Amino acid sequence: MFLVNVQLTKGSDKPVIGTDCCETIKVYPDMLINSGGQFRTTTISQATGRKTIYYGRFQSLNQKRQMIDSSHPLLISIKGERKAIDSATNVNQFDMRDYDHHQKIYEEFFITDLTTVRPERQLSLIDRFHVLRANFDHYCQRLPKTLRIYAMGLISGNRESDFFTEMTGVQQLGLLHLFSISGMHVYYFLGILTQLFSLMGLGRKPQAIIKLGCLGGYFIFSGSSPGLLRAVIMAGLMIMAQFWGFKLSQLAALSLTLMINLLLFPEAMFMMSVQLSYGLAFGLIAAGNMGYFKQTVLLNLLSLPILLFHLYEWHILSLAVSLIVLPLFGKTIFPLVILGLGLGMIDRSLTLPIEGLLGLFNGCLNMIGQLPGMLVFGKPPLVITLLMLGLTVFIMIHSSKFCRVALVGLYLGTFIWIHYPFSGEVTMFDVG
């Protein structure tokens, strides 16, 4: 089924290209990324009817302020060139073309002339969620720097240009998944709704109906990322099972979610975020009865082959940091961010103690990330990656000593094979 759906998807991925193309597009300010006098956004093209990446330059400072300060969708009339997305020019280089294709994006549009900008008058339900998200991001701009980065990353899913410069430790230690809206965030969101509805005295069925509607809105509000889709579908299936009064195990819900994902969005399975989402979700189910230490170690082992296949490196301190950070994040950092957002509505100065605590936490991660320990492993072949995953899953289920030894030997053998090959090679790099 997966291969059939991928082939059907590839059958419709031929890019539509052209010069001197004119169209009017709807731009959501919360999806607009600006860098100085330039901007980039992703939206539906009127000409092709599918998502396209648009690159442009603001015609004036007033136009820039009009676009980035707005919270309502904007209709802009543009002229320019529509092109196919270029593929990577080097072996094992990150391929933006494949990354975009997995999200059903096949063209990019380079704007040469931006003539009119006007607000959309008739707002759909989806538009209103984007307005809410834009207003939230505008509010976060008034908060102190670290609180702003954490609030936008954890709640609206937006990462501004300073995210990666301020969060070097999170990148080095492989903790970016904490700032990618996923199952953990959906769990907290539904937990807050459950407590709120319990205080209101709502019954089980009204709660389920409202939660399903809120899940759809949360998916749009948080950026509609492919990695979040898994968590939203799975949570929706569990809520519907409660509504209809039948028991649905977590493993059955995950299996149904995977089937739905393969039918609707098959190419997303090639993305690292989606692979980690499904892998860690399965790992949490398989290791549900284990102690915290053993569970964390096994989950890190389960994610390691996926990280090595996509990123080629791993920090040896990431496991130790995960053991400390994961419980601290859920019980302390996330509530602090929520508290900071609430206090900021009263007075910005009230958020300064929270800013200090978050800055201390982030500074410690950055300091640890700078310590020696980054291991450049290299890219394991796909077959070896699948074998690593298979052995790890077998260890989680059966705790086999032979499989543990075999897994360690496989990692060592792969590392030696990559770094000390039998024959050399000459590789040419295109640096642009």
Band of the pLDDT at 144, cuts 50, 70, 90? very high
- Looking at mean pLDDT, say which of 90-104, 125-139, 164-178 comes out highest: 125-139
How far apart are the C-alpha atoms of 127 and 307, rounded to whole Å?
A: 35
Which residues have CB under 8 Å from 379's CB, separation 6+? 92, 308, 309, 312, 418
The lowest-confidence range among 159-163, 251-255, 307-311, 337-341 is 159-163
Cβ(102)–Cβ(271) below 8 Å: yes
Give residue-wise pLDDT tens across range 67-88. 888 999 999 999 999 999 988 8
Band of the pLDDT at 258, cuts 50, 70, 90? very high
Q: What is the mean pLDDT of the chain?
A: 88
Pairing of strands 33-35, 38-44: antiparallel
Mean pLDDT of 328-346: 89
Per-residue pLDDT, 11: 53
How far apart are the C-alpha atoms of 62 and 56, rounded to whole Å?
A: 15
Nearest CA-CA partner of 67 in 107, 40, 105: 40
Does this model's pTM top 0.75? My answer is yes
Buried b (16+ CB within 10 A) or exposed e, 155-177: bbbbbbeebeebbebbbbbbbbb
Per-residue pLDDT, 243: 85
Domain coordinates in residue numbering, the chain:
11-122, 128-178+319-369, 288-316+373-432
Mean pLDDT of 39-58: 91
What the block records as the tokens of 203 is: 């019954």
Per-residue pLDDT, 6: 53
Type of residue at 337: V
How far apart are the C-alpha atoms of 243 and 191, rounded to whole Å?
A: 17
Task: Specify the CATH architecture of the domain 11-122.
Answer: Beta Barrel (2.40)
Cβ(155)–Cβ(337) below 8 Å: yes
The better pLDDT of the pair 13, 125 is held by: 125
Give residue-wise pLDDT tens across range 420-429. 888 877 777 7
Mean pLDDT of 47-55: 91
Cβ(380)–Cβ(414) below 8 Å: yes
How far apart are the C-alpha atoms of 147 and 140, rounded to whole Å?
A: 8
Cα–chain-centroid distance for residue 137? 17
Give residue-wise pLDDT tens across range 121-132. 889 999 999 999
Q: Is the pLDDT of residue 187 over 90?
A: no
Band of the pLDDT at 182, cuts 50, 70, 90? confident
Per-residue pLDDT, 287: 86
Instruction: Give Cα separations from 106 to 8, 244, 382 (angstroms).
Output: 15, 40, 25
Nearest CA-CA partner of 143 in 354, 390, 418: 354
Q: Is the pLDDT of residue 1 over 60?
A: no
3-state class (DSSP) for residue 1? coil
Band of the pLDDT at 10, cuts 50, 70, 90? low
The burial class, CB within 10 Å (0-12 / 13-18 / 19+), for 30 is buried
Cβ(370)–Cβ(180) below 8 Å: no
Q: Is the pLDDT of residue 318 over 60?
A: yes
Per-residue pLDDT, 196: 87
Band of the pLDDT at 325, cuts 50, 70, 90? confident
3-state class (DSSP) for residue 59? coil
Give residue-wise pLDDT tens across range 392-426. 999 998 878 899 999 999 999 999 999 988 887 77
How far apart are the C-alpha atoms of 432 and 429, rounded to whole Å?
A: 9
Which residues have CB under 8 Å from 43's CB, separation 6+? 25, 26, 27, 28, 31, 51, 52, 54
Type of residue at 214: C
Cβ(230)–Cβ(282) below 8 Å: no
Give residue-wise pLDDT tens across range 206-249. 888 999 999 999 999 988 888 888 999 999 999 999 888 888 89
Percent of the chain at pLDDT above 70? Answer: 97
Band of the pLDDT at 5, cuts 50, 70, 90? low
The strand ranges marked E within 45-94 are: 51-57, 74-84
Give residue-wise pLDDT tens across range 260-270. 999 988 888 99
Nearest CA-CA partner of 313 in 372, 384, 366, 375: 375
How far apart are the C-alpha atoms of 388 and 411, rounded to whole Å?
A: 8
Give residue-wise pLDDT tens across range 162-174. 788 888 888 888 8
Mean pLDDT of 23-36: 90
